[in-house]
Amino acid sequence: MSDNSVYRKYEREPAKRVFAAELREAFHHFREGTDEKSPTFLLLPTGERCNRVFIAGTLTEKKKSEGEAVFYQVRVVDPTGTFFVSAGSYQPEALHQISTIESPAFVVIVGKPGVFQSPDGRNLVSVRAEAITAVDKSVVDCWILDTARLTLDRIEKETDDPDHQKAAEIYQRQPDFWRSKIRDALSSIQL
Amino acid sequence: MELKEIADRISEKFSTAGHQIDRAKLEEKINRFVEEFSVPPAEAERSITADYARQFGMELSSSAPSRQDADTVTRISDIQAEQWVTVEGQIVTLFPSRSPSVAQSGVISDSGGTMRFTVWAKANAPVMEQGKWYRLESAVADEYNGQVSLKVHSGTVITELSPESVPKTEITSISDIIPKRWISVEGEVTTLFTPRSPSIAQTGILADSSGTVRFTVWASAEAPLLEQGHWYHLEPVETDEFNGQISIKIHGGTKIEPISKDEIPPIELVSIGQLKPGVATLEGKVVSVEKQYSEQIIQRGVLADDSGAVRFIIRNTPGAEPLVENHWYSITGAVVDRFRGALSVQVNSGSARILEVDKSIRPNIIPITQAGPGIVCLRVKMVQEYDNTSDRLFQAGLLGDESGTIRFVTWKDENAPRLDPDNVYSIYYASVDEFNSRLSLTLNGATCIREENVTIQVRTSNEEVSGALVHLSPGSGLIKRCPVEGCGRVLSRQNYCQVHEIQPNYIYDLRVKGWLDTGVKTYDTIISREGVEELTGLNLISAQELAENDPLGLDTVFYHISEQILGRYLVCRGRSIDNRFFAYNCEFKKFEPGLHAELINRVEGSSHE
């Protein structure tokens, strides 16, 4: 019963708040358990797993696929970098919502992160949107605060949690690196 | 000024290609991105350039190939397209040649990665053998359909590596397997599945003490059949990933060596609380056994130590014998599985040894909110008894402690304990199951002891949850309820109540069903009419008008509400009942300058420590 990670996984996974600078560096993904319906997780460099993220920023570019199936790819920038977001026919709601948003616009997105290999072998993290909404700047600012707070919580957490240890092993980034990103994000808010 | 420079660069880029861009419009666009939407200038330049390129149908050029020094060995995982490289690796697969211009093709692997290679017939290269290590000097990496591969041409020098320079085979722990590699593993075949395709000879689960992995033996491998319950050394196997699930593939080139009982790698003793899927050695006391057995199963029960408890199962295999209640056992090489979130231990025949000890166990009592699928011990108050809805059911109700509440059921059996409302019980070794993403406690087989003179303050008080509404479920918006007194169930589209059938005189109501997410926890939330009114400005009358005057009907109210609250930060007050948060007072969260200042201090403060 001391193995809390087993129990934590039971609850519906929260949508983790993560800045673009951190999400783009994530590449380790894994599945808990061996049965086909077990959720897949992406390990964030600051040491927490996620299978859903809540992100926000400015939609700067929207591309519709030319092929038969409708498919959108959008770029969303936050103060620390760029998110790559997509929606296809399996996300009818998000597809509909994206079609009505024109760049540039402030947006928030709920979606599932995935890691893809670019042709040159680099890892690309892309978020498959479940929902995307055009919002006011104030919502993005609230998100920046929320994400700054939760990212700080992650790096300041003192724990022997296996996810934390694994992330430290795999990503080898010092907490100060993330602090500087959080600082960038916070200072982008003009009062 | 920076924005002017961006405009200069963009218009120059396109004017050299013969496209003129309206300067004023361009500057306005850049300004809008950078000033109004705080997009970094570089990103704005990139986006706007890409946008114009699409308008003019231009392809943007990418970077040029680079040439590398032939002496440096490049790790396969670092190879990029359009590079000249020298690599050292093992030929793990050879494909039959499909064209006379190709002498050989296959897959080469080093410790960090793998890549396909092709040897052109014109290269006149020496023939390479599967399983051997080679150095390929000055091969070319190129890309086709997004896949990088190595080409061996007449300028490439191939030398076989001497045995001493070949890296030693390392056994990879199953939990450390990374996809798209060729590795060696050792483990026990714990499960075999029926192959779904004739191209697959066998498929199942391989386990070691670190974890489990799915394996597939290709029919083309013509490998000897693997047997369940046996250990094997497999070298090399290809690792793969599909939908985030790691698997290993056994090919024609894979050496399969059975590992005898004496050679099985030692498996360290773990405490029950630390168990995870895989093969494990443990010690525990049989604290309960179930009464009902089947032909396939000799015994089910619960094993416990001070750290926790776990279900065990003994299958009816030759030599299998049941364990004796209240005795300690040492169990070697047990197979640990996870099913619906709960762990279970499969005890193989002959693997349990009785221990001549009688240590008493101090059961680890946990708060309800920490309970998850598996075996738990709780101290709780019986809050409420539910009406009995099934012949097989003995009792159902709600239990609570300081942290929260949980449903329980007890099925009819001769030892089923009955709990009395408002009493406090210590419950030992009850099993928690997950059903429809809700937890439920089953008391059959558990020990329930009534505690006198103990009071528990069950947590049902008001809560405030501040989070983002990340999902709006169907059944939100304007809904119809059953008018029968005391019912109030939500009617289906045909005005049908599950209990009272067709109800044409329904009552309208407004609500939101969705997920309110704090980033740490997701609340399955229902916002009542009051809350919806506060957030959206709609009320029952205006919502009905909206629905009646729109061809979408009730759906229009759903979309109207969704547009206003989906993805927004809300502060909701209400109470949690049974894993669900009922909110009746809600508002949009505002930007908090105080929190902003506090976070700036926090980020600066401790970075100098």
Digit-coded pLDDT (tens) for B326-342 = 999 999 889 998 887 88
CATH of the domain at A65: 2.40.50.140
User: Is B64 among the domain residues?
Assistant: no
Same domain, B377 and B435: yes
B605 near A CB under 8 A: no
- CA atoms of A81 and A22, how far apart (whole Å): 9
Q: What is the DSSP string of B260-329?
A: -GGGSPP--B--GGG--SEEEEEEEEEEEE-S---SSEEEEEEEEETTEEEEEEEE--TT--PPPTT-EE
Same domain, B472 and B561: yes
B244 near A CB under 8 A: yes
B246 near A CB under 8 A: yes
The alpha carbon of residue A126 is apart from the nearest alpha carbon of chain B, in Å, by: 14
Minimum CA–CA partner of A39 in chain B: B244
For helices B41-56 and B23-31, what crossing angle results, to 10°? 140
Q: Which two tokens stand for residue B343?
A: 């762990």
Q: Residue A15 and residue B470: Cβ atoms within 8 Å? A: yes
Q: Residue B275 and residue A188: Cβ atoms within 8 Å? A: no
Same domain, B431 and B470: no
The alpha carbon of residue A107 is apart from the nearest alpha carbon of chain B, in Å, by: 9
Same domain, B469 and B440: no
Query: What's the pLDDT band for B557 if we cut at 50, 70, 90?
Result: very high
Q: Which two tokens stand for residue B76?
A: 């396969």
Q: Residue A14 and residue B275: Cβ atoms within 8 Å? A: no
For the stretch A70-75, contacts whose Cβ atoms lie closer than 8 Å and that sit 24 or more positions apart, written own/partner, are A70/A95, A72/A98, A72/A99, A74/A98, A74/A103, A74/A132, A75/B43, A75/B47
Minimum CA–CA partner of B49 in chain A: A61
Among B44, B78, B244, beta carbon nearest to A29: B244
Same domain, B493 and B576: yes
Q: Residue B591 and residue A145: Cβ atoms within 8 Å? A: yes
**What one-character DSSP code corresponds to residue B78?**
G
Same domain, B345 and B295: yes
- CA atoms of B236 and B255, how far apart (whole Å): 7
Distances in whole angstroms, Cα of residue A54 to Cα of each of A138, B382, B520, B567: 16, 38, 12, 9
Q: Do B108 and B93 form a contact (C-beta atoms < 8 A)?
A: no
User: Is B63 among the domain residues?
Assistant: no
- CA atoms of A17 and A80, how far apart (whole Å): 13
Q: What is the pLDDT of residue B63?
A: 39
Residue (of A1, A54, A9, A22) closest to A180 by Cα position: A22
Kindly tell me if the per-residue pLDDT of B71 is higher than 80. Answer: no
Q: How many CB atoms lie within 10 A of CB A110?
A: 24
User: A169 in helix, strand or coil?
Assistant: helix
Same domain, B469 and B553: yes
User: Is B8 among the domain residues?
Assistant: yes
Q: What is the pLDDT of residue B540?
A: 92
The alpha carbon of residue B435 is apart from the nearest alpha carbon of chain A, in Å, by: 11
Q: Residue A179 and residue B603: Cβ atoms within 8 Å? A: yes
Q: Which of B571 and B485 is assigned the larger pLDDT?
A: B571
Query: What's the pLDDT band for B515 if we cut at 50, 70, 90?
Result: very high
Kindly tell me if the per-residue pLDDT of B609 is higher than 70. Answer: no
Minimum CA–CA partner of A118 in chain B: B146
Minimum CA–CA partner of B77 in chain A: A121
Contacts of B594 (CB under 8 A, 6+ apart): none
Which residue(s) pair with B115 in the sheet? B108
Provide the residue range defining the domain that includes B307: 272-355
Query: What's the pLDDT band for B425 if we cut at 50, 70, 90?
Result: very high
**What one-character DSSP code corresponds to residue B166?**
S
The alpha carbon of residue A151 is apart from the nearest alpha carbon of chain B, in Å, by: 10
ipTM: 0.90
User: Is A121 among the domain residues?
Assistant: yes
- Number of independent structural domains in chain B: 6
Query: What's the pLDDT band for B62 if we cut at 50, 70, 90?
Result: very low
Contacts of A119 in chain B (CB under 8 A): 81, 143, 146-148
Query: Which among B51, B517, B564 is the top mutation candidate for probing chain A, defined by the most A β-carbons within 10 Å of its own β-carbon?
Result: B517
- CA atoms of A116 and B602, how far apart (whole Å): 35
Q: How many CB atoms lie within 10 A of CB B144?
A: 10
What is the tens place of the pLDDT at every residue in A91-134? 888 999 999 999 899 999 999 999 987 777 778 899 999 999 99
Kindly tell me if the per-residue pLDDT of B79 is higher than 50. Answer: yes
Query: What's the pLDDT band for B261 if we cut at 50, 70, 90?
Result: confident
Q: Which of B196 and A86 is assigned the larger pLDDT?
A: A86
| Residue recorded with tokens 């052109």 | B120
Q: Residue B39 and residue A146: Cβ atoms within 8 Å? A: no
Contacts of A151 in chain B (CB under 8 A): none
Contacts of B515 in chain A (CB under 8 A): 12
Q: Which two tokens stand for residue B249?
A: 């593939």
Q: How many CB atoms lie within 10 A of CB B266?
A: 8
Minimum CA–CA partner of A103 in chain B: B33
Amino acid at A184: D
- CA atoms of B127 and B138, how far apart (whole Å): 17
Minimum CA–CA partner of B336 in chain A: A33
Q: Tell me which residues of chain B, numbers 385 to 424, contact chain A at a CB-CB cutoff of 8 Å.
A: none
Minimum CA–CA partner of B434 in chain A: A10
Q: Residue B606 and residue A156: Cβ atoms within 8 Å? A: yes
The alpha carbon of residue A89 is apart from the nearest alpha carbon of chain B, in Å, by: 18
The secondary element (H helix, E strand) that includes residue B379 is strand B374-385
- CA atoms of B411 and B392, how far apart (whole Å): 6
The alpha carbon of residue B502 is apart from the nearest alpha carbon of chain A, in Å, by: 31
- Number of independent structural domains in chain A: 1
Among B148, B341, B603, beta carbon nearest to A186: B603
Q: What is the pLDDT of residue B387?
A: 75
Q: Residue A110 and residue B567: Cβ atoms within 8 Å? A: yes
Same domain, B248 and B277: no
| Average pLDDT rounded to a whole number, residues B371-378 | 92
Q: Which two tokens stand for residue B86?
A: 């020298």
User: B441 in helix, strand or coil?
Assistant: strand
CATH of the domain at B487: 2.40.50.140
Q: Residue B567 and residue A179: Cβ atoms within 8 Å? A: no
Contacts of B143 (CB under 8 A, 6+ apart): A119, A120, B81, B82, B149
Rg of chain A over all Cα atoms, to the nearest angstrom: 17
- CA atoms of A122 and B148, how far apart (whole Å): 12
Q: Which two tokens stand for residue B409?
A: 């059921």
| Average pLDDT rounded to a whole number, residues B182-190 | 89
Sign of CA dihedral B185, B188, B190, B196: positive
Kindly tell me if the per-residue pLDDT of B356 is higher than 80. Answer: yes
User: Is A191 among the domain residues?
Assistant: no
Q: How many CB atoms lie within 10 A of CB B395?
A: 18
Last residue of a domain, one of B143, B165, B187: B165
Query: What's the pLDDT band for B572 if we cut at 50, 70, 90?
Result: very high
What is the tens place of the pLDDT at every residue in B429-481? 999 988 766 789 999 889 999 998 888 888 765 678 999 999 999 999 999 99
Last residue of a domain, one of B130, B148, B165: B165
Residue (of B199, B201, B261) closest to B225 by Cα position: B201
B278 — alpha (psi -120 to 50), left (phi > 0) or beta? left
Same domain, B556 and B486: yes
| Average pLDDT rounded to a whole number, residues B205-223 | 89
Same domain, B191 and B121: no
Minimum CA–CA partner of A83 in chain B: B43
User: Is A33 among the domain residues?
Assistant: yes
Residue (of B558, B22, B3, B305) closest to B11 by Cα position: B22
User: B220 in helix, strand or coil?
Assistant: helix
Kindly tell me if the per-residue pLDDT of B607 is higher than 80. Answer: no
Q: What is the pLDDT of residue B583?
A: 92
The alpha carbon of residue A119 is apart from the nearest alpha carbon of chain B, in Å, by: 5
Same domain, B577 and B480: yes
Sign of CA dihedral B538, B541, B545, B551: positive
User: Is B606 among the domain residues?
Assistant: no
Q: What is the DSSP string of B314-341?
A: EE--TT--PPPTT-EEEEEEEEEEEETT
User: Is A166 among the domain residues?
Assistant: yes
Provide the residue range defining the domain that includes A21: 4-186
Residue segments in chain A with a per-residue pLDDT below the cut of 70:
1-11, 33-37, 191
Q: Which two tokens stand for residue B327?
A: 């005795």
| Average pLDDT rounded to a whole number, residues B250-269 | 85
Kindly tell me if the per-residue pLDDT of B553 is higher than 70. Answer: yes
What is the share, in percent, of chain B residues with pLDDT greater than 90?
32
Q: Do B481 and B436 form a contact (C-beta atoms < 8 A)?
A: no
Same domain, B116 and B142: yes
| Average pLDDT rounded to a whole number, residues B101-111 | 87
Contacts of B47 in chain A (CB under 8 A): 60-61, 75, 103
Q: How many CB atoms lie within 10 A of CB B18?
A: 8
